[in-house]
Chains A and B, each alone.
Chain A
Amino acid sequence: QQPVQSPQAVILREGEDAVINCSSSKALYSVHWYRQKHGEAPVFLMILLKGGEQKGHDKISASFNEKKQQSSLYLTASQLSYSGTYFCGTESNAGGTSYGKLTFGQGTILTVHP
């Protein structure tokens, strides 16, 4: 089942902060975050694993609440280049085997104005 992202869209001015949430009804093993600009391929931002490990860019942070099956992406001091659609991809832990098989949310459209 597809994770649910909120909000669906957000409009910011440069320098403002935003939080994008991703919620799943399934127990999660990992959450991946990607950003996609119009007409381009998704670009990797963050990976968060059950147990606390994470990997990603220095200027972007995220959290993963395993009990609630939720993840949040924090965008601080936004820049024009942050505009795009943000997707979370979730992986459920099927018997302890991971394949990197991701189920993506519907996306959150972020627009940053000068």
Chain B
Amino acid sequence: AQSVTQPDIHITVSEGASLELRCNYSYGATPYLFWYVQSPGQGLQLLLKYFSGDTLVQGIKGFEAEFKRSQSSFNLRKPSVHWSDAAEYFCAVAPSGTYKYIFGTGTRLKVLA
């Protein structure tokens, strides 16, 4: 069965520090991969997505993610975190051509001033 693992439930970083949020998936073929962000009381906003092609994907708000097939990973990175990045981040996977998104359990990011 397909699954998504976000091993870090909480992460705390200082403002200006770099960030990496981990995501691992279990799926036989290359799925569609997504990162969403959810601010408190808000819906989920798409940060970036990977369908095919270049394995380094650029998203909004200065985020990027790299698809590594050999590691079944799709980690999210940002070189310098801003206080406004404090939120919960969800990785999601969908088998190619389907809408059956499977979401990870989320990583809550706290940013220290």
Task: Tell me if chain B binds chain A.
Answer: no
